[in-house]
Amino acid sequence: MGADKDRDQKRRIDTMEELAVAIGVSRPTLSRYFQDPERVSRTSRERIAQGLERVEYVPNFFATRLNRKSTGIIGVVIPYLNDLFFTKLLEAIERAAMAEGYTVITQCSHSDPLIEARAAETFMSMSVDGALVAPLGNQSDMKAHERLRSRLPCVLVDSRPKSMPNVDFVGSNHVQSTGLATEYLCRVGTPPIFLAMPRVNFNAMERELAYIAKMEELGHEPHIIGTEVLNDDGLFEAHGRAVLDREFAAGRLLESSVLCANDRVAIGALRAAASHGLEPGAKRQGGLRIMGHDDYPLCPFAVPSLTTVAQDVEAIGRASVSRLVKTIQAQKNQDEQIVKLFDGELKVRDSA
Amino acid sequence: MGADKDRDQKRRIDTMEELAVAIGVSRPTLSRYFQDPERVSRTSRERIAQGLERVEYVPNFFATRLNRKSTGIIGVVIPYLNDLFFTKLLEAIERAAMAEGYTVITQCSHSDPLIEARAAETFMSMSVDGALVAPLGNQSDMKAHERLRSRLPCVLVDSRPKSMPNVDFVGSNHVQSTGLATEYLCRVGTPPIFLAMPRVNFNAMERELAYIAKMEELGHEPHIIGTEVLNDDGLFEAHGRAVLDREFAAGRLLESSVLCANDRVAIGALRAAASHGLEPGAKRQGGLRIMGHDDYPLCPFAVPSLTTVAQDVEAIGRASVSRLVKTIQAQKNQDEQIVKLFDGELKVRDSA
DNA sequence: GGTATTACTGAACGCATGTAAAAGGGAGGA
DNA sequence: TCCTCCCTTTTACATGCGTTCAGTAATACC
């Protein structure tokens, strides 16, 4: 009977005040209990625990946050969702933040600077303890970013606008990773040309420059294609396919090494190669090779499987949260800026 | 000068009270202005607007929500992020909700019933106006779902647990879509076998059953493989590859039509086919065919490009928001339950 | 047994805003 | 000029809970 009553319909209680009279302790005692059960005596603790079994009560999120010095919330801004790189990053961030005891509120910019700026406003109005920002890129509203930074601890993730050089940053070492890829391709075949992506973010430029630097270091002539916008849907895959379709149709690059700015571009490139009857791969000495960057989750399942250089997304997520939490707990903004770059790791598969 | 001052450092104001004295109107007038500028006189309106130009002020999110009848927030629960289907759904939902003037708070279950239940708790404690729930599946904590439903308007999206039959639901008509795919494959080649996915959610079962029904309707013997869990990473692609690797290695299914439970499984299947030197496609009459379900964004870029049946994700997102908003505005829960299913659309490409 | 110390509790106040009711103020009509 | 009506503003109270601090009970010590 009692068990049935428990299971079926507990008495619903809306405020801590009601709960206090229902259990027979004072409201402040309950407040302390919810923040940390150790802060009340053992007897009260047990009494409250038993009381909570018999009722249905959820503390009001807004009321609890309103009057606290720390809201326990971390805000995350990401540019868009339809990319498995960002979703992996987000999952890593959420796991790390959860482990540290923070609540994560994510806002997606949907590639729109206005929405990104509004997300910053939202976080300020929520008094989040800190923010992790993967910025849109050149189009970002820098004033909004600055306001956010002036109010609360911020860490940039993945991409770092040149216009905000003295902010904490966690991302990939593109000089190393792109250099590694370039070097690998030079070693196993002809020096690569670089299939760029439209310069929507700063990583795009960084990788281009890293490619050029490594090529010159190795004594080769750099050659870049695909910086122009060819398709309007904004899909990286469609871009890669369009660029290589054009080249292959003109009889160019049929025996080249092609280093793509990222894996999604490379997947489009693979598609174009297949359409033209080409089989990119390490097996054919001197023939067409296609390589990506990032280690997108689908790489092992591409046809042929895509050789790439992996970003350590998990580590980037963890490190960014770790740094942010440290800054938050230090109260004031740390004096020295931190820039943490993770090296890429070669993933040799079939395509190069 | 004045412009410079504006641009550089506006006076920062923390509370509405301060703002009121700074501008010279009463605080409640400001409150009404922020909710709807039309609710104050034109003179006050202009005065406030001018005043806001000169200061930096963000209303406190928690305080504004605390004492309102409606928080203007819609909560969204999705099972995991590393799937472009859900990210597309989420984008559609966010766009639609934004257009309706709602703020969206998304919580990801990370495939964990505990986290899913906690997300429900969070939404209750935030007094969200309503919730859109894409449930985890069989493992979901049904009691948590029920509590959520008893407190606020809910609409299930994408997947509907059998244990909650009388809740509003918006999703795909799998009987129609899977039937369409089955029929198509029967028409252009040999009757398909069905490559299932582990039965993590209810759509998996629905599609299996729809396949069986259509096969029997057409007078063919249904044949299902891949219901067992073969790999531990939980990736659909790896599952599809593992199942077909095994079959092909045993010399089975080399000339069959294979209908995959979803596109990610199919992408793994394509990978397995390539590994065994097979070229699935409509071009070879009577030969191996592979077809998916969903129209995952990468389908056109697969090698060969993947024939599939598209779910209208955009429509599902819009309809779910629309229904939820309607329920919210009707105050009380609507009497009649609504189930809205969208038909799938055939996307014929190269693989089948 | 008495006193000093500690641990815990609860009354009172504060938080930043929403909101209903009362006061104000201006226009229009007599 | 005065009064009424309508709209706006203001006053006052409400929201649900964090937090401080004085008071009290419990414990330790002599």
Q: Is the pLDDT of residue B7 over 60?
A: no
User: Does a structural domain hold residue A38?
Assistant: yes
Report, as an integer, the average pLDDT of A309-326.
Answer: 96
Nucleotide nearest to B40 in CA–C1' terms: D8
Percent above pLDDT 90 for chain A:
69
Q: A80 and A49: one domain? A: no
- Average pLDDT taken over every residue of chain B: 90
Number of domains in chain A: 3
CATH number at residue B81: 3.40.50.2300
- How would residue A309 be classed by pLDDT, with cut points 50, 70 and 90? very high
In our burial notation (b when 16+ CB lie closer than 10 A, e otherwise), range B264-276 reads bbbbbbbbbbbbe
Å from the A41 CA to the C5 C1':
18
Same domain? For A207 and A255 the reply is: yes
pLDDT at B11: 85
Residue A258 inside a domain? The answer is yes
pLDDT at A221: 96
Of the candidate ranges A67-81, A137-151, A243-257, B272-286, the one whose mean pLDDT is the lowest: B272-286
Segment B209-228 mean pLDDT = 95
- The reported pLDDT for the residue numbered B24 is 87
Q: Tokens 């750099």 map to which residue?
A: A222
- Binned at pLDDT 50, 70 and 90, residue B3 comes out as very low
- Please tell me the predicted confidence (pLDDT) of residue A1: 37
- Report helix angle B27-35 to B16-23, nearest 10: 110
Facing residue for B81 by CB, picked from A61, A91, A302? A91
User: B84 contacts in A (CB within 8 Å)?
Assistant: 82, 84
pLDDT value for B1: 36
Contact B87 A90 (CB under 8 A): no
CB of B166 closer than 8 Å to CB of B153: no
Out of B105, B121, B301, name the one closest to residue A105 (CB): B105
Q: Report, as an integer, the average pLDDT of A149-167.
A: 90
Q: Would the Cβ of B127 be found within 7 angstroms of any atom in strand C? A: no
Q: What is the CATH number of the domain that holds B51?
A: 1.10.260
> β-strands A345-347, A308-310: how paired?
antiparallel
CB contact under 8 A, A297 and B61: no
Bridging pattern class, strands B345-347 and B308-310: antiparallel
A337 and A303 housed in the same domain: no
Query: B350: pLDDT confidence band, cut at 50, 70 and 90?
Result: very high
pLDDT of residue A178: 97
pLDDT tens-digit readout, B67-77: 888 899 999 99
The CA-atom distances, in angstroms, between A163 and each of A78, A153, A209 are 18, 18, 18
Within-domain flag for A351? no
Contact residues for A27 (Cβ-Cβ < 8 A; gap 6+): A16, A17, A19, A20
The pLDDT of residue A93 is above 90? yes
Distance B300 CA to D14 C1' (A): 58
Specify the residue for token string 């999110």: B61
The neighbour count for residue A6, using CB atoms within 10 Å, is 11
Q: Does B174 reach chain A within 8 Å, measured CB to CB?
A: no
Position B229 confidence tier, pLDDT thresholds 50, 70, 90: confident
pLDDT of residue A70: 87
Is A210 among the domain residues?
yes
| Whether B66 contacts chain A with CB within 8 A | yes
Q: A4 phi and psi, to 5 degrees?
A: -60, -45
- Strand D nucleotides below 7 A of a protein CB? 7-12, 14-20
Instruction: Give the domain extent around B42.
Output: 2-65
Mean pLDDT of the A120-138 span: 92
Which pLDDT score, from 0 to 100, does residue B285 have? Answer: 57
Which residues are CB-neighbours of B296 under 8 A, at least 6 positions away? Answer: B84, B85, B262, B263, B264, B267, B306, B308
Instruction: Clarify whether residues A230 and A244 are in a common domain.
Output: yes
The answer to whether residues A306 and A178 belong to one domain is yes
Asked which of A301-310, B9-18, B187-196, B287-296 is least confident by mean pLDDT, the reply is B9-18
- C-alpha A271/C-alpha A256 separation (Å) is 16
Identify from A58, A105, A116 which residue to disrupt to test chain B contact, counting B C-beta atoms within 10 A and taking the largest count. A58
Give the gap in angstroms from C-alpha B302 to the nearest C-alpha of chain A: 7
The answer to whether residues B186 and B266 belong to one domain is yes
A158/A278 same-domain check: no
Please tell me the distance from the alpha carbon of residue A273 to that of residue B299, in angstroms, as a whole number. 16
pLDDT of residue B232: 73
Q: Report which listed range, A34-48, A225-239, B211-225, is most confident.
A: B211-225
CB contact under 8 A, A303 and B303: yes
Rg (CA), chain A: 26
Q: Which chain B residue has the Cα nearest residue A123? A: B61
CB atoms within 10 A of CB A292: 32
Whether residue B269 is predicted with pLDDT greater than 60 in this model: the reply is: yes
Whether residue B349 is contained in a domain is answered as no
Residue A78 main-chain phi, psi, to 5 deg: -125, 150
Q: Of all nucleotides in the shown strands, which has a C1' nearest the CA of B69? A: C18
Residue environment code for A144-176, b if the CB has 16+ CB neighbours within 10 A, otherwise e: bbebbbebbbbbbbbbbbeebeebbbbbbbbbb
Among A8, A88, A204, which residue's Cα sits nearest to residue B150?
A8
Interface check B349 vs A, CB under 8 A: no
Higher pLDDT, B237 or A165: B237
Contact with chain A for residue B56, Cβ under 8 A: yes
Q: Are A180 and A207 found together in one domain? A: yes
* pLDDT score of A8 more than 70: no
- Residues B138, B182: one domain? no
pTM over 0.85: yes
Indicate if the pLDDT at residue B290 is higher than 90.
Answer: yes
Q: Is the pLDDT of residue B173 over 90?
A: yes
> A305 and A221 in one domain?
yes
Q: How far apart are CA A349 and CA A184, in angstroms?
A: 12
Share of chain B above pLDDT 90, in %: 65
Residues of chain B in contact with residue A108, where contact means CB-CB under 8 angstroms, are 90-91, 94
| Helix (H) or strand (E) run with residue B49 in it | helix B42-54
The answer to whether B234 faces chain A, any CB pair under 8 Å, is no
Q: Please give the pLDDT value at position B68.
A: 85
- A126 vs B59: CB contact, 8 Å cut-off? no
pLDDT tens digits, one per residue of B315-347: 999 999 999 999 998 866 567 889 999 999 999
* A297 part of contact set with chain B, CB < 8 Å: yes
How much is the pLDDT for B39? Answer: 83
Indicate if B117 and B168 belong to the same structural domain: yes
CB contacts < 8 Å between A and B, how many? Answer: 122
Task: Please give the pLDDT value at position B5.
Answer: 40
**Listed range (B166-170, B198-202, B254-258, B309-313) with the worst mean pLDDT:** B198-202
| Side-chain half-sphere CA neighbours of A289 within 13 A | 29
Confidence of residue B88 (pLDDT cuts 50, 70, 90): very high
The 10s digit of each residue's pLDDT in B27-69 is 888 988 988 888 888 888 888 888 898 899 999 999 999 888 8
Q: Are residues B51 and B85 in the same domain?
A: no
Answer whether residue A349 is part of any domain: no
Residue A152 lies in a domain: yes
B258 φ, ψ to 5°? -120, 115
> What confidence tier does A250 reach under pLDDT thresholds 50, 70, 90?
very high
Asked whether residue B77 is domain-assigned, the answer is yes
In A 37-66, which Cβ lie closer than 7 Å to strand C? 40-44, 66
Q: What is the rounded average pLDDT for all residues in chain A?
A: 90
Q: Which of residues 241-270 of A touch B (CB under 8 A)?
A: 241, 267-268, 270
Look at residue A2 in the predicted model and tell me its pLDDT: 39
pLDDT at position A11 is 86
Per-residue CA distances from A142 to A120, A146, A169, B228, B335 (Å): 11, 6, 16, 51, 49
B84 has a chain A CB within 8 A of its CB: yes
Task: Name B residues 7-46 whose Cβ lies under 7 Å from strand C.
Answer: 14-17, 27-28, 30-32, 34-35
